[in-house]
Structure formats: structure tokens, C-alpha cells
């Protein structure tokens, strides 16, 4: 399954929760890019510009999809701009992997991104003003809406969103995930799953 959506949609948090619940491997495309490039996303933007980042993103996605076997139990979170690039959308379509669009109001997405920047120091090169954030969201929405289905995330916890995705795709919980969605509260990310995004 591939999770798409704008910055702040919860692709990584929901992807991780889904991975544990289903017993599937979770992967974040941005992390693969950083490993391959030996640089952080914001450093790639700074040193090679957005076009350099998009090239690295495309190469990483191609590599990742080539590793997917039919029926592979994997969840992949794409960065907010990945699916918007035509050549990437084509690759995803050819791989026949179900796509899920995680969405929220643009005000809510902005609030989450600002909060992550302030509290966790998350650096997003495209997080500048609210006006350009909104323009980018509006321009990208038609691309995201080509996903198999759209999952609303506003006002929901990570666990609720993950259960709704599981139900919508008709998937079953693995033996490994049988403690339920994030009930153990072992670490901060798990505790967050009981909170709204
Ligand atoms: C981007 C979103 C980021 C990251 C890069 C570009 C975008 O990922 O890939 O900064 O174009 O929206 P997140 O959606 O995980 O923030």
C-alpha cells in the first residue's frame, strides 16, 4: 500500500501504525532518499535545489518499486510532492499497488506542520508562508484525488485513521499486531497514536 497526501497529512505516523497492526514492513521514501544521497532532505534542497531533490526522489521510488514483489506486505509513505510528478504517478500505476490519500483541511495541515517544526525541529523546505502552502495544496489536490480512496484525518487519532484504512481495504490484523492499534504505549510515537494528529 502506498500512502500519499500533503505535508502534515500523517503519512509516516499512520504508516508506522499500520505496519505494526498488519505486521507489514513500513518504509518512508524520504528516508531512502536520504540514505542513497547521504544528505538530509533539506540539505538536498539547499545544495541541489528542488529539481535535484525531485531527481533523487524519482530514482529512489523506482528502486523501491522494483523491490516490491506481487502481494508484498509493505507500506510506503511518499513525500508530499512525489505522487504529483507525472513520471512517479506512472511508476506507481504500473506497479499496481493500492494508493491511499490521507487528507485534512489546509488549515489543519498547516497547524500540524508548524507544530512539528516548533516541537520536533522538523525542517520542511516548502513550508514558507500559509499563502504559498495553500496554493500548493490546491494545485496538488487533483493529483492526490487519483488515489484508490481518500481518507479524512482531521480530528482523528492515528489509531482511528489506521483502523479506517484497514477496514476500507478489507485487510486483516496480523498475529504480531494483536495487541491492537497502539495500546501498549511503550514509546512516544505509540502514545501519540492515541492522540489526534
Ligand atoms: C515535500 C514533502 C516532504 C519532502 C520534501 C518535499 C513536498 O515530505 O518529501 O520536503 O514537496 O511536499 P512530507 O510530505 O513527509 O513532509
Residue-wise pLDDT for 99-146, tens only, equals 999 999 999 999 999 999 999 999 999 999 999 999 999 999 999 999
Ramachandran region of residue 175, left (φ > 0), alpha (ψ -120 to 50) or beta? Answer: alpha
State whether residue 180 is helix, strand or coil.
Answer: coil
Contact 68, 95 (CB under 8 A): yes
* Mean pLDDT to the nearest integer, 8-33: 96
- pLDDT band, very low/low/confident/very high, at 184 (cuts 50, 70, 90): very low
Residue with CA at minimum distance from ligand 1 atom 10: 124
pLDDT at position 196 is 82
Q: List strand residue ranges (DSSP E) for the chain, in order.
A: 2-4, 25-28, 74-77, 99-103, 149-152
Task: Choose the residue to mutate in 30, 34, 121 for probing ligand 1, maximizing ligand atoms within 8 Å of C-beta.
Answer: 30
Confidence of residue 179 (pLDDT cuts 50, 70, 90): low
pLDDT value for 185: 37
Do residues 29 and 59 make contact, with C-beta atoms less than 8 angstroms apart? no
Q: What is the pLDDT of residue 195?
A: 78
Q: Is the pLDDT of residue 174 over 90?
A: no
Grid cell of 92 as nine digits: 506507481
pLDDT band at 72 (very low <50, low <70, confident <90, very high): confident
Q: Percentage of the chain surpassing pLDDT 90?
A: 83
**Residue 65 Cβ < 6 Å to ligand 1:** no
Amino acid at each position: 500500500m502506498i500512502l500519499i497526501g500533503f505535508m502534515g497529512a500523517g503519512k509516516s505516523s499512520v504508516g508506522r501504525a499500520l505496519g505494526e497492526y498488519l505486521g507489514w514492513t513500513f518504509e518512508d521514501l524520504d528516508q531512502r532518499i536520504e540514505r542513497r544521497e547521504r544528505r538530509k532532505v533539506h540539505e538536498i534542497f539547499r545544495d541541489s535545489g528542488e529539481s535535484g531533490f525531485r531527481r533523487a526522489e524519482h530514482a529512489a521510488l523506482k528502486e523501491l518499486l522494483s523491490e516490491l514483489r506481487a502481494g508484498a506486505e509493505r507500506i510506503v509513505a511518499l513525500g508530499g510532492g512525489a505522487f504529483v510528478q507525472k513520471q512517479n504517478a506512472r511508476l506507481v500505476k504500473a506497479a499496481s499497488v493500492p494508493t491511499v490519500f490521507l487528507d485534512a483541511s489546509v488549515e489543519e495541515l498547516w497547524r500540524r506542520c508548524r507544530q512539528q517544526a516548533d516541537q520536533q525541529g522538523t525542517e520542511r523546505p516548502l513550508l514558507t508562508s500559509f499563502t504559498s502552502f495553500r496554493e500548493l495544496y490546491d494545485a496538488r489536490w487533483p493529483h492526490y484525488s487519483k488515489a484508490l480512496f481518500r481518507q479524512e484525518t482531521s480530528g482523528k487519532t492515528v489509531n482511528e485513521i489506521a483502523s479506517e484504512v484497514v477496514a476500507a481495504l478489507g485487510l486483516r490484523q496480523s498475529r504480531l499486531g494483536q495487541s491492537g492499534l497502539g495500546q501498549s504505549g511503550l514509546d512516544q510515537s505509540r502514545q501519540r497514536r492515541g492522540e489526534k494528529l
